Amino acid sequence: MSTAFEIAKRISFQKQKNYTRFIVRLSIAATAISVAAILLTFSIVNGFQATIANKVYQFWGHIRVASVSGEPLEQDANTLAAFQKNTAVKTITPFVSQSTVLSFEQDIEGVVARGIPASTQIPFLRKGKGWTTPAKDSMLNEIIISDNIAKKLNVQLGATVRLYFLNTGAVQQRKLKVAGIYHSGIEEYDNQFVLVDIKLLQQLNNNELVEGYSIVLNENAPIEATTSALQKILPENWVATSIKNYYPQIFDWIGVQTINRNVTITIMLIVAIINLLTCLFIIMLERITMIGTLTALGASQNFIRKIFLYQASFICWTGILLGAIIGLGLSYLQATTGWIQMDESAYFIKELPIKMDAVQIISVLIGTAIISYISFLVPTLWIKKISPAKAIQFD
């Protein structure tokens, strides 16, 4: 082991109480807090973006296929088979939407009935088991409503409600049993949509046309690239569109969080570096006599610089590792217990979401260390300006 390292270790872990010892501890604490804050910021923003985006994807899919003019589409088996050949595609769900009025006892509410196949898994189902298994080619007289609508109209699970549709100037009524209650947390959806069997709306329209198809992709599949690939095999006048383009306000809001994350991380890094630089300057100032003595004994500037770089490394890595323990510990605690709650009406989520990424964690730890080492070189340049004679006399 090098002499410079041994000297740095002795002066770093000396037990006597002095002002420098307090500064070192303060610097370690500041570094730990900064690293913990950066890791928490990454975990929270990752979790927030993924959770909100997944809510939209669960409700609408990643890609929507519809006609250019908005006219209904005929179900083309060959096109659907071509979709399934794309390895990124997980499921394809036809849908029909129609405005309607939902009535229960004396109360009414304007909603949008979204028709999907009865075999489709119901997203965000909170109460009930969802639709019963339909017989072949049969139509289910069941409905899934949101808990917002259920509370507003005081509808209980299993109750019978009425839907009123206006078709070709005539009002058509359907009685439906409430088979489930969903809760997405996105009020725009929960206040507006009810789910029914797609065959019900097709029967009302006297056709088997669909409004479009919702396509769900496999995890981590590239949305834009898949959208472009599907567009190439679509019939004329059909268009594939990423769901981000249908709800830009939500995804733009999600994107803003990346800017907030970067600003927070930059501030935390600046705080950590300033504290480490200040600490190193104070340590060097206290050790001017030692610097003069070593210089007088023939030690090179590089040798002396190594002593302080080793000492700064002890402080830096102690703070980084302590910060990693705090940051990852708090992230894990929130992920397992959900003890931090949020206003769901404002943020679409009830619990603060956490998503830890191993690559980001390693990048933060190594990146902080590299930036710190580069910064440490600045104060060590001051060593060559110290006169041995004056330094030995320094008190």
Residue with tokens 């804050």: 37
242 is a domain residue: no
Other beta carbons within 10 angstroms of residue 360's beta carbon come to: 16
**Do 193 and 56 form a contact (C-beta atoms < 8 A)?**
no
Do residues 11 and 101 share a domain? no
Sort 308 into a burial class: Cβ within 10 Å, 0-12 / 13-18 / 19+: buried
Last residue of a domain, one of 182, 210, 238: 210
Give the pLDDT score at 384. 60
Do residues 386 and 265 share a domain? yes
- Helix, strand, coil percentages for the chain (3-state, nearest 5): 55, 20, 25
Residue with tokens 């599907």: 230
Do residues 384 and 268 share a domain? yes
Q: Whose CA is closest to 65, among 251, 313, 186, 243?
A: 243
Do residues 262 and 386 share a domain? yes
Do residues 266 and 386 share a domain? yes
Do residues 378 and 276 share a domain? yes
Q: Is the dihedral of CA 372, 374, 378, 381 positive or negative?
A: positive
332 is a domain residue: yes
135 is a domain residue: yes
Last residue of a domain, one of 181, 210, 239: 210
Do residues 205 and 101 share a domain? yes
Do residues 203 and 263 share a domain? no
70 is a domain residue: no
pLDDT, averaged in runs of 10, over the chain (395 residues): 68 60 80 92 92 91 90 84 89 92 90 91 87 74 92 92 86 91 90 93 89 92 92 88 90 89 89 81 72 69 75 85 94 90 84 92 90 76 58 53
Give the pLDDT score at 160. 93
238 is a domain residue: no
**How many angstroms separate the Cα of 81 from the Cα of each of 131, 195, 242, 327?**
26, 26, 20, 47
Give the pLDDT score at 222. 92
Do residues 49 and 100 share a domain? no
Residue with tokens 């060097």: 284
Give the pLDDT score at 99. 92
Distance CA 96, CA 116 (A): 7
215: amino acid identity, one letter: I
pTM across the whole model: 0.81
232 is a domain residue: no
**How many angstroms separate the Cα of 30 from the Cα of each of 17, 23, 269?**
20, 10, 10
Q: Label the pairing between strands 160-167 and 89-104.
A: antiparallel
Give the pLDDT score at 115. 93
Do residues 114 and 16 share a domain? no
Q: Give me the number of domains the chain comprises.
A: 2
**Do 386 and 291 form a contact (C-beta atoms < 8 A)?**
yes
227 is a domain residue: no
**Do 307 and 41 form a contact (C-beta atoms < 8 A)?**
no
Do residues 138 and 27 share a domain? no
201 is a domain residue: yes
**Total count of residues recorded for the chain:** 395
Last residue of a domain, one of 210, 236, 259: 210
**Exposed e or buried b per residue across 253-283, where buried means at least 16 C-beta atoms within 10 angstroms of its C-beta:** ebeebeeebeebbeebbeebbebbbebbbbb
Give the structural domain span for 295.
Answer: 3-55+251-393
Do residues 385 and 287 share a domain? yes
Sort 214 into a burial class: Cβ within 10 Å, 0-12 / 13-18 / 19+: buried
Q: Whose CA is closest to 250, among 61, 64, 62, 49?
A: 49
